[in-house]
Amino acid sequence: MATVFAAYAWLVPVLPLAAFALLTAFGRSLRTTGAWVAITASLGSLVLALLIAGERLAGAEDYSQSFDWLVFGTATLSIGIDVTNLTTLMMVIVTVVGFLVNVYSYGYMRDDERMTVFYAYVSLFLASMLGLVLADNLLMLYIFWELVGVCSFLLIGFWYYKPEARDAAKKAFIVTRVGDLGLLIAVLLLFWYMPGHALDFSSINNVFGNDGGTISAGVTTLIALLIFLGAVGKSGQFPLHVWLPDAMEGPTPISALIHAATMVAAGVFLVARTFVIFEASPAAMATVAAIGAFTAIFAATIALAQNDIKRVLAYSTVSQLGYMMLGLGVGSIVAGMFHLFTHAFFKALLFLAAGSVIHAVHTQDIREMGGLAGRMKTTAWTFGIGALALAGIPPLAGFWSKDAILAAALEQNPLLFVVGAVTAFLTALYMSRLFYMVFAGKPKDGSHAHESPAVMTVPLVVLAVLSVIAGFVETPWYGWFGEWLTGESAHHAGYLAMIVATAAGLLGLYLGWLIWQKGTIDGKALAARMPGLVRVLERKYYIDEFYDLVFVRSLRRLGHALRRFDAVVVDGVVWLAAATAQAVGRLNTRMQSGQLQGYLLAALFSVVILVLAVAGRRLW
Amino acid sequence: MTLLGSYLTLAAVLFCLGLYGVLTKRNAIVVLLSLELMLNAVNLNLVAFAKYGMIPSLTGHIFTLFTISVAAAEAAVGVAILIVFYRRRVTVNVDEFDELRR
């Protein structure tokens, strides 16, 4: 099959970029027209992405296109696009969620003064994210990687008049920078060690596919770990996860698009894209699996004790990203990417539904919500579907992808499997808590909640449908997705993983139902019996406090010391130079008094000195 | 030779008196007078050298006559400037003459 549409793949990121340029140029004079420009551009990208995907499903060849960007010495930096099954999958995810979020935002941001600015940022984000996905070499990927970081920063701090939003934006930017630095060093190391300084993915595949070629095992491990550090920063994995929950200060559609479905998944995508490097280093693989598993269970426990609807979902995102990393770490690229694929839909759905709730009740505290199911039927239904999908209840999408990861983990390491199963149980528990506290029970007094407009609910319905059906592309009996993605069918460990996952999910839901709906188990009494644990969970294991104490304070102290050095020493030297010149000038001004007698006196003294000098020289 | 010395000493004393007046007096007229004193000290030197110098000649005397006439012209111009100045500023105080500064 010929590649017809793939040749136009470069248009996919360029369309939103054009929308961004248009919106920035014409600014506020556009208002609602601006929104339509952005929506149309994302629709164009979506259609093109789907056409390319259709072509690839029919079995088209991989397509790539690149041209030289910089040539220096023997090295060449190129810029280009790569259309493979992996990038096409990501492209479809990004454009689908991007388009739906664009539509949804039209309702959510309607009352905002700076709606066109918002759409401009979102368009820029989509362009950079698609550029990241399509990039055919690591350097280009890194550039777009930074660009999505900038967009994330801009959009978290979109409501910059809120101090929390400003702080969250700065925190997100600074924390992810730590990871980005790792990725940058990895790119530089690759540039140094790769034959011919090639950075494109096909060369990387060739070199590392053949046992690392000339590159030693130690360097390979180092590069893999540094790349993973970048992924840890972007995907909110354990040591660097702190920015993601705070990022929920941004508008909710942004949380859905950037901080749930696409940008945070970029880390997972990066590991999948450079998977050969990881495969060449068992130590790096083990690290990925361990960090992923730990993050999954760690974030899930925190989500259990949060009271902000978006924060619960944010920790859930961190946990699910850990799941994806776990899937990759145990060697199954299919499982990781499959979970990324399904998670994008149901987590975006959950966030958008949460946004619909927030839009209606004007609070994010779930303790102040309740009984919304009666008034917001569509939102409640779609949220419920999303929650079930996330909890891994068959036959929804989350079940199949989670099962794939658990099955892969079981083959590799039973401990990882147990951690994954416990996480699945916790996930179901906190999702049922969230659902019952928000939608069930009696409505709180004085709430005038009402269903959101169709422009917001239709994307919810579309995502709900996707959350139901997306899982069927890869089941234990039908491994089509895996074959399409990697060319070999994924292995499944039979029914054990499936039964355990289902049981864990159902148990979590049942327990949640008992505690928060039926009241058989008194949740408050349970919490009162272990106050220490509850407090630790509510304070998120004191990680923020720890970082504040260790890094923020010491760095700030260093900053203060440096500032004092600057003020005293550097400024002092400059001040001294200026003061000297000034003093000389002042002396000269005083001499230029305009008084004739003064001049004469000066002349007299000069003559006397001259005479003395001449006479003195003669005497000697 | 001693005679020349005493003339020169007298001229030096006169010059220093004139210089002192020029440098310290506030009244512009007195400054001009002191200036004349300095000029005359110079004249005295010229005449003394012409009479008792190594090669006595008339040149010194002639030169002195020129100096006296030029000094007279100079004094006239100086006083004229002073009068114009007085009309504008109503003062002959040298301290207040700071036009050079502007």
Side chain identity, residue A583: A
- ipTM of this complex prediction, to 2 decimal places: 0.82
Instruction: Sort out which chain B residues have CB atoms less than 8 A from A601's CB and list them.
Output: 23
Query: Does the structure show a pLDDT above 80 at A396?
Result: yes
pLDDT of residue A473: 80
Instruction: Sort out which chain A residues have CB atoms less than 8 A from B100's CB and list them.
Output: 594, 596, 599
How close is the nearest chain A Cα to the Cα of B59, in Å?
27
Cα B29 from Cα B22, distance rounded (Å): 10
What is the DSSP code string of A136-171?
SBHHHHHHHHHHHHHHHHHHHTTSTTSHHHHHHHHH
Closest residue of chain B to A603, computed from CA coordinates: B23
Query: Does the structure show a pLDDT above 80 at A59?
Result: no
Does B24 contact A at CB distance below 8 Å? yes
Question: Which residue, among A244, A230, A238, has the nearest Cα to A178 in the 3D structure?
Answer: A230
Closest residue of chain A to B99, computed from CA coordinates: A594
Does B97 contact A at CB distance below 8 Å? yes
Percent of chain A whose pLDDT exceeds 90: 36
- C-alpha A530, offset from chain centre: 34
Q: Report the alpha-carbon angle A533-A539-A545, nearest 5.
A: 125
The alpha carbon torsion through A39, A40, A44, A49 (nearest 10 deg) reads 10
Query: What is the mean predicted confidence (pLDDT) over A210-236?
Result: 85
Tokens of B54: 């190594």
Residues A318-374 have pLDDT tens digits of 999 999 999 999 888 888 888 999 999 999 999 999 988 888 888 888 888 877 777
Instruction: Sort out which chain A residues have CB atoms less than 8 A from B32's CB and list them.
Output: none
Q: What is the mean pLDDT of chain A?
A: 86
Query: Does the structure show a pLDDT above 80 at A433?
Result: yes
Phi, psi dihedrals of residue A192, rounded to the nearest 5°:
-70, -45
Instruction: Sort out which chain B residues have CB atoms less than 8 A from A595's CB and list them.
Output: 94-95, 97-98
Nearest beta carbon to residue B98 from set A595, A601, A604: A595
pLDDT of residue B1: 55
Closest residue of chain B to A600, computed from CA coordinates: B23
What count of other Cβ atoms lies within 10 Å of the Cβ of residue A367? 10
Does B18 contact A at CB distance below 8 Å? no
The answer to whether the CB atoms of B98 and A594 lie below 8 A apart is yes
Query: Does the structure show a pLDDT above 90 at A599?
Result: no
How close is the nearest chain B Cα to the Cα of A581, in Å?
21
The answer to whether the CB atoms of B23 and A604 lie below 8 A apart is yes
The answer to whether the CB atoms of B97 and A604 lie below 8 A apart is no
Nearest beta carbon to residue A601 from set B23, B94, B101: B23
Is A285:A399 a contact under the CB 8 Å cutoff? no
Query: What is the mean predicted confidence (pLDDT) over A99-117?
Result: 88
Instruction: Sort out which chain A residues have CB atoms less than 8 A from B102's CB and list them.
Output: 594
The answer to whether the CB atoms of B101 and A593 lie below 8 A apart is yes
Instruction: Sort out which chain B residues have CB atoms less than 8 A from A590's CB and list them.
Output: none
Closest residue of chain A to B25, computed from CA coordinates: A597
Q: How many residues does chain A have?
A: 620
Query: What is the mean predicted confidence (pLDDT) over A205-212?
Result: 74
Is A399:A502 a contact under the CB 8 Å cutoff? yes
The answer to whether the CB atoms of A593 and B24 lie below 8 A apart is no
pLDDT of residue A324: 92
Cα B34 from Cα B36, distance rounded (Å): 5
Q: Which residues contact A84 (CB under 8 A, 6 or more apart)?
A: A62
Size of interface A-B (CB pairs under 8 A): 26
The answer to whether the CB atoms of B94 and A597 lie below 8 A apart is yes
Nearest beta carbon to residue A594 from set B19, B22, B99: B99
How close is the nearest chain A Cα to the Cα of B19, in Å?
10
pLDDT of residue A490: 57
What count of other Cβ atoms lies within 10 Å of the Cβ of residue B79? 13
The answer to whether the CB atoms of B102 and A594 lie below 8 A apart is yes
How close is the nearest chain B Cα to the Cα of A618, in Å?
22
Question: Which residue, among A352, A402, A357, A403, has the nearest Cα to A377 in the 3D structure?
Answer: A357
Closest residue of chain A to B98, computed from CA coordinates: A594
Query: Does the structure show a pLDDT above 70 at A253?
Result: yes
Q: A582 falls in which pLDDT band (50, 70, 90)? A: very high
Nearest beta carbon to residue B97 from set A592, A596, A604: A596
- C-alpha A305, offset from chain centre: 23
pLDDT of residue A614: 92
User: Mean pLDDT lowest for which of A53-57, A571-575, B7-11?
Assistant: A53-57
Burial class (CB in 10 A: 0-12, 13-18, 19+), B85: middle
Instruction: Sort out which chain A residues have CB atoms less than 8 A from B35's CB and list them.
Output: none
